[in-house]
Structure 1
């Protein structure tokens, strides 16, 4: 009869004082790491050609690649054509339901999910046990870098059901050894209150509700509570911020959920290069842009049962290769958001998040939470149109201060429309901030 041991449902215990979750892989010498990447890249190419995987086999042969041996260095990944999300959608439509880009028979998989569909038809994600294990091990590196340790209580409000993000996050936390306190995305006041009441009973050590934080703050205020003072909800602080902005953390559920994470000692997020080749490329040439410059985020997954070859997420990324003082030998990346969400206004090119940072300097519009939208410019020379809610204060005076804050931070003229509280649409997860006129 089988007997249980702690490693059966999770990893073997670590010394809580050790610096890295997986020291061997995270500090591997560059030459050795690149040799491992090349070996795994060749294996992925050979599998695509011999299984075969029709979508990728066509692309490889069109590029003149007949074998993994045709690739002599990691840089040769650039010989492989890119694949975009629409290619996956088209494949699933032409060969329903799973498309012709799968490396593994769906009946050999144990988990199915789909993308959020916020930017088009959702695609289906399939995972074998090995694929899930790679995600869990990758996530454990991130949690350990954050200073978290097994035994802590971690709360989050990721969506579930067909969207696979919540299940993946919950599983990774449980694998890591954290107590997983998963509350529902606060799509209604009732759901938000349910989560707040649970936090009053079970105080989390770590909060990962950043995408829903404003909604919880708003409902807590209606309950006469302050999330920090009365609920003890600690805020999640992004480490690894730098001049480039957000450290790279993920490459999407359908690609590589836990592709990287920041150490906090140098800007950017350390990329898990043993399981992926991550690039920032010029979409016109398909080649890497110089380090530190924005390019399209392109990921080739390695050592999975279900892989992706040069998957272009059509999002902004920048790569840094200078050594990090933390001791990890992997390159670091920054995430710049979706290119379609960048704003072109009055000769300036920026993200919606930059507008949010400007608005947060005006306290009146942040109480109890900041609720705003930016109207996507149709005339790059016109004033930026912003709508923001206000609970208490003089609308005209607050609008003037918001406009001044945007001018100071972004160098653009804005026209801010101040609205009564609860005028804008609410979302329990990832609020829509960029709207059409």
Structure 2
């Protein structure tokens, strides 16, 4: 059988911008990924149901996480997995349990800092509100107020002249609380009552919420030749989108008889990476291992088959990384300067902040060569602390060979990040080749 021949182009980047705009929260991101999988013939399975081992595509949703997999005809219980891992969450401002506050004639919303955002990027920016509402009847409802609703106003320079000489200093508790109206009559329940009305729900229907702010400015092409993309939540919905597109392409090609898959391709998009991954929907939780094991057992496998399948499996942990910054080049390793537009990056850290080793590099190099995609290497400056990803967690928790990769961007953790317009589809093409096995 031939390769899928699936070659994404700039149209993939157009679609990424649509995906980013429609996914202001992890819950929206997994719902949008699930919709794309459904259109490709995947079906949702509940974790509380018995699973069967027949061929085809399936996916599990749990909160802000999704795991999807495609079983080709003839797959055996010990058939290994090819996994693309990513995360759905991004740093932002999240609504507290008692959200209604205010002072001096301003109505405000009490928020908590999620992850490690560039705080200044949230100032003087028009913000919407999105997330998940939990209802009295036990169901949930997604909500997205995608219009200017909130704003975190910066203090005028006339009232803090030290900003010019000492830089901006923000107190996370005092300075990041957004305003959303005028009035002294702040009442408990105002924000939730507003969301109930906006969602067409009865008063008192909402008993719980997971809500977060987002910039309402649309993703856009930028630059002289529109060779850049500016947008929110590229870290890490760029990878979620690419992995979903790659899985759909592989499943479609297999169903058409264009490929013969020697493995089971998997998408695993987790929540809570930005604060440590330790949750039931995070990479350090049991979700991925449970899904993979149940897939083996549903095909009549034993624990021995499970061990064989895991031993032959490989995971690409796909997350954004740092492109060399033209204004701060000294912060990067002097011999490793990943460039925007240069293709995906292979992340290496000998202290295991990334999971890549030499054999993992060979796996990714082979996929890129097969796809005709250039790739670059990233390593941190020795004098700078190195970030981490779901890669080492996945490798340690499941004993699966894992390789850390991604797309090089600027302004990571800003409310609005920047990448080259070609890199998203170059990543997607490399993921197709990897998932083919």
Structure (1/2) with the larger helix percentage: 1
Q: TM-score range by the shorter chain?
A: under 0.3
Scaled by the length of structure 2, what TM-score is found?
0.25
Scaled by the length of structure 1, what TM-score is found?
0.25
Structure (1/2) with the larger strand percentage: 2
Higher relative contact order (CA 8 A, sep 6+): 2
